[in-house]
């Protein structure tokens, strides 16, 4: 299979009906914080056990089409001795890999960030392919204030994301491009919409400039929401604003938009995804999920670092994934939250 054929096949697998993507790609500091919230110590063994627990959840492939991992996980094995990427493939789940190296200060800016990791990216991708990864993820961050993000930050981050995507596609890997406008702050819904539109418009200009094949990318954007310091509007209002921005900025050639949860609760993220899929009007893309905390928090709470809780944790994962699968189809209801059947 040639490079383009490989990417098309990966896209087809990731976008099959009812399925989304799990982001289990937390770096060492992030996973340490997330686990500590539930009284779990982050060690190589606890991380291995936990991410193996996710990949081997019976039946999870019905709802999860891909899992994004941290590089450590690609070389780890399940309790049965199978490499974790191979365990994913056994459930028709596509293994993916986070490839950015985190955000650093953008020189010359007013404290804004740009994501690093382009150095030797091609060589790293070659190694990840050998370990079974078929798609990649790169995240950029945009802070909202009355003045920010600046044009400098918008263009610098778009350029980095586009260069990353072009390199990933040169290896036959599907790039997830993630321009995350942060929820932190007191901004209102309109301000988030304006910044999100600017970030996405600048990104797609750069993707075209770098000749990235839009049919072989996945966009992972934030939902349009007010800052954490503001009251939350109705889910239908947020859905309408998010769709308005997407229709203005995202070409129909893009096959799938897989939203990040961005600090929302599990229930909030699922409800917002459902509202977008229920909304009227043109939606030329698959609209699904690529949640991290909104999928994993209930799992970590059920597990609590105790091996004997593995089955309960897997049931929590399966339940949460099923609800988001229903939201992808616009068939979720809050009454389903307590239905474990």
Catalytic residues: 178, 220
- φ/ψ of 64, rounded to 5, equals -120, 120
The separation between the first and the last C-alpha atoms of the chain, rounded to the nearest angstrom, is 41
Distance CA(295)–CA(318), nearest Å, equals 9
Reduce the DSSP state of residue 288 to 3 states and report it.
Answer: strand
Long-range CB pairs of 144-149 (<8 Å, 24+ gap) are 144/181, 144/182, 144/184, 144/185, 144/187, 144/191, 144/192, 144/195, 144/227, 145/185, 145/187, 147/110, 148/110, 148/112, 149/112, 149/195, 149/198, 149/199
Residue partners of 306: CB distance under 8 A and separation at least 6: none
- Nearest Cα neighbor of 330 from 293, 295, 281, 297 is 281
CB 182 within 8 Å of CB 149: no
CB atoms within 10 A of CB 236: 14
Q: Which residue carries 């070389």 as its tokens?
A: 75
A 10 A CB-CB count for 101 gives 15
């Amino acid at each position: 299979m040639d490079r383009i054929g490989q990417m098309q096949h990966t896209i087809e697998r990731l976008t099959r009906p009812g399925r989304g993507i799990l982001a289990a790609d937390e770096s060492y500091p992030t996973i340490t914080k997330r686990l500590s919230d539930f009284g779990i110590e982050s060690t190589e063994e606890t991380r291995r056990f936990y991410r193996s627990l996710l990949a081997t959840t019976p039946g999870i492939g019905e709802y999860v089409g891909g899992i994004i991992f941290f590089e450590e996980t690609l070389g780890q094995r399940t309790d049965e001795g199978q490499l974790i990427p191979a365990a994913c493939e056994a459930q028709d789940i596509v293994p993916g890999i986070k490839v950015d190296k985190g955000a650093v200060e953008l020189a010359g800016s007013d404290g804004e960030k740009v994501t690093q990791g382009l150095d030797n990216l091609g060589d790293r991708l070659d190694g990840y392919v050998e370990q079974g990864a078929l798609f990649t993820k790169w995240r950029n961050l945009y802070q909202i204030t009355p003045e920010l993000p600046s044009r400098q930050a918008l263009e610098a981050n778009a350029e980095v994301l586009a260069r990353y995507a072009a390199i990933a596609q040169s290896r036959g890997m599907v790039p997830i491009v993630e321009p995350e406008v942060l929820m932190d702050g007191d901004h209102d819904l309109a301000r988030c919409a304006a910044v999100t539109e600017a970030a996405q418009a600048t990104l797609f200009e750069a993707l075209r400039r770098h000749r990235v094949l839009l049919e072989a990318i996945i966009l992972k954007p934030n939902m349009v929401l007010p800052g954490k310091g503001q009251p939350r509007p109705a889910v239908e209002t947020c859905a309408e604003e998010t769709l308005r921005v997407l229709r203005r900025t995202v070409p129909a050639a893009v096959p799938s938009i897989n939203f990040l949860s961005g600090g929302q609760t599990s229930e909030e993220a699922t409800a917002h995804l459902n509202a977008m899929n229920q909304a009227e009007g043109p939606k030329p893309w698959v609209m699904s999920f690529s949640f991290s905390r909104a999928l994993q928090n209930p799992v970590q709470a059920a597990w609590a670092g105790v091996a004997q809780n593995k089955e309960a944790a897997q049931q929590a994962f399966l339940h949460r994934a099923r609800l988001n699968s229903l939201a992808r189809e616009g068939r979720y209801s809050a009454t389903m939250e307590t239905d474990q059947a």
